[in-house]
Structure 1
Amino acid sequence: MSVLIAIASAHNTTTTIGQRIAARLATHIPGPVDVRPITEIPASNGIAPYSAVIVGSAIHMATWLPPARKFLTAQQVPLSERPVWAFSVGVPNTEEYAALEREKMEALVRKSVPQLRGHTLFQGRIEREQLAWPVALFFKWFPKSAKFGDFVEWEEVDKWADKVGEEMKEAMKVSK
């Protein structure tokens, strides 16, 4: 089984999470697990060599990054022919907002990939220097809304990757 982890990352956190998932998957399944930026995956036959796909994107302005959304649309047919999982990386400031964001991002992915096997939302990392000036200005005016730092919960990433790895193993047994 070969797995593609297709990543849309703005500040490298999503890529780092994708690499961690790849390392965990490698302990569960035989075959390569490749982590590639979505922008480097050819539109025609780019996912053809892979038997499963995980798509991950950072969340900016309450949605996935444009390259990730374009990837889902452009690869809709090939994605429908293989098992697909997805993850989002954001920094929701409350559990209520996290649940809403998780639901919204899963719905976004399911528009192009109705057979999606699973989606999760991971906490990410955000630094003040990464913000566009209008957003930084907002946080300057409303400092209680600001939430800066590294919030990645690596145990949650590992737990999700292990779950997906077990699901992939089961899928391999069924397809034999």
Structure 2
Amino acid sequence: MPRKVLVAYGTKNGSTAQIAQIVAEVLSKAGLTAEALPARSVTSVSSYDAVVVGSGLYAGRWHKDARRFVRRHRRSLAPRPIWLFSSGPLDASASERDIPPVPGVRRVMDNLEVTEHVTFGGCLEEGAEGRIARMIVRSGKGGDFRDFTAIEAWAAHIAEELAGPESR
């Protein structure tokens, strides 16, 4: 059973970091050593047995830090179990149905044989950085659409998979 799990994330306003922290907490409660770190701060994945990578979605793309993380570490990631998550829809759609990965994330999945990808609702609230983000909030289309129960269940699912005999 893998013991050490990295949860790396790319975020602009911090809501994806909160998702990553919850994932790491659930994995830790399941007996794994897990830490959530900003993707830009990770220099090596060699000390980790499994990796979760997540990012907020911005105009249909992952945050640049998450994209760069996957590119920079692709060779080291390849032999490890990998899960991906995206955070983004500013509505209830992620709670109502499975949302497929955006094209860039689909390419990562194909190149790295990712175990699973899930999209969670996003969060964009007052004080968000960026002109477009502020416009969205001012127009009344912002809000917090993260489903923390679903996030915790997904993290528990990862812990179960890592405990099982099929983990790489």
TM-score (norm 2): 0.84
C-alpha separation between the residues in 1 aligned to 2:136 and 2:52? 34
Which of 143, 146, 151 is equivalent to 1:149? 143
C-alpha separation between the residues in 2 aligned to 1:94 and 1:47? 34
Match of 1:20 in 2: 22
- Displacement of 1:24: 0.8
Show CA shifts across 1:113-167 (max 9, x none): 2x10001011121025325335645776xx4xx4212221111101101111100
Identity %: 24
Which of 9, 12, 18 is equivalent to 1:10? 12
- Displacement of 1:90: 0.6
Match of 1:168 in 2: 162
**Bigger proportion of residues as helix:** 1
C-alpha separation between the residues in 2 aligned to 1:174 and 1:93? 35
RMSD of aligned Cα (Å): 2.6
Structure label with greater radius of gyration: 1
Match of 2:106 in 1: 107
Match of 2:153 in 1: 159
In the alignment, is the contact (CA less than 8 A) between 1:39 and 1:67 conserved in 2? yes
Give the letter for the 1:47 counterpart. Answer: V
- The alpha-carbon distance between structure 1 residues 147 and 103, as it changes in their structure 2 partners (threshold 3 A), is same
C-alpha separation between the residues in 2 aligned to 1:125 and 1:137? 14
C-alpha separation between the residues in 1 aligned to 2:89 and 2:133? 14
C-alpha separation between the residues in 2 aligned to 1:53 and 1:134? 31
Show CA shifts across 1:33-92 (max 9, x none): 1111111111xxx00000000001111111101111111111111111110001111124
Match of 1:84 in 2: 82
**Unmatched 5+ residue regions in structure 2?**
none
Which consecutive segments of 4 or more residues in structure 1 shift more than 6 A?
none
Give the letter for the 1:153 counterpart. Answer: D
Match of 2:31 in 1: 29
Which of 62, 65, 89 is equivalent to 1:64? 62
**Unmatched 5+ residue regions in structure 1?**
none
- Displacement of 1:29: 3.5
- The alpha-carbon distance between structure 1 residues 134 and 161, as it changes in their structure 2 partners (threshold 3 A), is closer
Give the letter for the 1:28 counterpart. Answer: A
- Displacement of 1:104: 1.6
